Amino acid sequence: MTPADSAGTPGLARGAIGLREVLFQSVTSMAPAGAVALSIAVGATYAGGALPLAVLLALVACLLVASSIGQLAKHLPSAGSIYTYPAEALHPVIGFLVGWGYALVEALIGPTTTVLVGYLVGSVMHSEFDWPFTATWVVVMIAAAVLIALLNYRGVRVSAQVGTVLGLFEILVFLVLAGWLVVKAGTGNTAAVFTLHFATVEGYQGFSGVAAASIYTVLAFIGFEASAPLAEEARNPRRTIPIAVVASCGAIGVFYVFTTYAGDVFFGPDRYATFGELGNGSPWITLARDVWGIGWVVALFAILNSTFANGNAGTLATTRTWYAMSRIGLLPAALSRTHPRWNSPHIGVLVQLLVTLAIGLPIGLHFGPTTAFVFLATILAGVMIAVYMVFDLSCITYYLRRQRGEFNWLLHLVIPVFGIVAFVPAWLTAMGIGGAVLKFVTPLTYPSSQAGLVIGIWYLIGVAVLVYLYRRHPARLAEMRRVFVDEPH
């Protein structure tokens, strides 16, 4: 009997959501409009006018790992999916380390997104109405964090339905805006942005600039796997989770390529390295002003909505991962408690709120909200790119070891291997390693250059926890292989 079982808690709400809600859990976790306007725009600093190429490479790499996740989800539907996959396919130690890293990633989505919401509102209110910038962004950030916590406290059905509505709105607005920009660009439209022709940023010329930018274009995709932890609350999860993971990655990837291309050719690829500085760090709001006039407000709402929805979806995934790890005794038992009425992991929701404020406020105040976002985002990308590579490896070993009768050379070997290879340049650049051997690995600017150090410290703590578990509670690590979705409730 697991710790959660013995506590007699009601558990998660089985079968509460269908394919639509599961799909938009992945979509909103990627924050399409916010990613285009913020994280992808950061990549222009390194790739310049070749940014669409970095987006295209990220799409290919993420589609490859999405295929691997989908193949694993068919047999291992669990709220602990992120760690269950490698625990079952490789070893429980690898599963724990993946879960440990993912716990950090998802916990950081809260402060990363709410800091951005605060920044966007603070900068607009300061420029339009001369409100005090710092006080405004801090208050708005706190309010956004509390509202996200309330939505998640209320349960998966409400928060997932809200995510569906918000996701549709932001995608529609940015598709229309991007189409407008492409038409306005006229003769400026060119396929050269998908080559290294415009990768001319000083210090990051050629593929080194694309590799550095790929950290932030991959960041835009992080979240397509976020539907997997909802397996125990989804109807027919062996079907819905694989569809949601692959479809969300592919559809939003095409959205990213189109919108990034539109911004590039409209602004001018030869000067695109300065794109992120446009509008005091809000370049897409400035583009919307140029072509829509007062309609820029609609773009602002789409970006705010996107970022807020990302925080909401991130909290859903975070608390389900914590719930699953707590249920088998790898995290404090309180995180496996669920609300008697709403079936939400309410203690985890409250902890996530505290983590959001405890990390987001001091880092945002120290570095400023935009620099804080880039710093936290680099940490997120560094961990998740490694996790994605482990998923690819897990797909290979799982079908070779556990499902040999279903083994398919393309799906279970070729695609995962290419997926691992595709992520290597961005991961090495994010971690700041390999520069002495590989010319394309160029150090990032401070404080993002310290992301590798932060990740290393986090994993040292994780190894210490792992040693403790091995010595005191070795049976708990084996529990990471369990799939709960088919067990009695």
Residue carrying the six token digits 């040292």? 460
What residues are paired with 17 via a beta bridge?
A: 234
Q: What is the pLDDT of residues 465-487, one digit of tens each?
A: 999 988 888 888 877 766 544 44
- Contact criterion met (CB below 8 Å) for 56 and 213: no
Angle CA(213)–CA(424)–CA(106) in degrees, nearest 5?
70
Distance separating alpha carbons of residues 142 and 306, to the nearest angstrom: 17
Q: What is the pLDDT of residues 171-200, one digit of tens each?
A: 999 999 999 999 999 999 999 999 999 999
Distance separating alpha carbons of residues 400 and 408, to the nearest angstrom: 10
Q: 272: closest CA among 218, 198, 210, 207?
A: 198
Tell me the chain's radius of gyration from C-alpha atoms.
21
Helix (H) or strand (E) holding 405: none
Query: What is the arithmetic mean of pLDDT over 21-26?
Result: 78
Amino acid making up residue 73: A
What's the pLDDT score for residue 150?
85
Chain-centre distance of CA 222, in angstroms?
A: 3
Phi-psi region of 483 (alpha: psi -120 to 50; beta: other; left: phi over 0): beta
- Contact criterion met (CB below 8 Å) for 166 and 28: yes
Distance separating alpha carbons of residues 463 and 23, to the nearest angstrom: 34
Burial 69-84 (b: 16+ CB within 10 A, else e): bbbbbebbbbbbbbbb
Pair of tokens at residue 113: 């997104």
pLDDT higher than threshold 90 for residue 18: no
pLDDT higher than threshold 60 for residue 13: no
In three-state secondary structure terms, 234 is: strand
Stretch among 143-152, 268-277, 435-444 having the lowest mean pLDDT? 435-444
Distance separating alpha carbons of residues 133 and 80, to the nearest angstrom: 40
Burial 87-96 (b: 16+ CB within 10 A, else e): bbbbebbbbb
Specify the DSSP class assigned to residue 79.
T
Helices first, then strands: H and E counts in the chain: 19, 0
Q: Which span out of 76-85, 131-140, 145-154, 288-297 was modeled with the highest average pLDDT? A: 131-140
Q: What is the pLDDT of residues 226-237, one digit of tens each?
A: 777 666 677 788
Stretch among 83-97, 263-277, 330-344 having the lowest mean pLDDT? 330-344
Q: 451: closest CA among 162, 199, 215?
A: 215
Which band of pLDDT confidence, cut at 50, 70 and 90, is reported for residue 157? Answer: low
What's the pLDDT score for residue 15?
59
pLDDT higher than threshold 70 for residue 83: yes
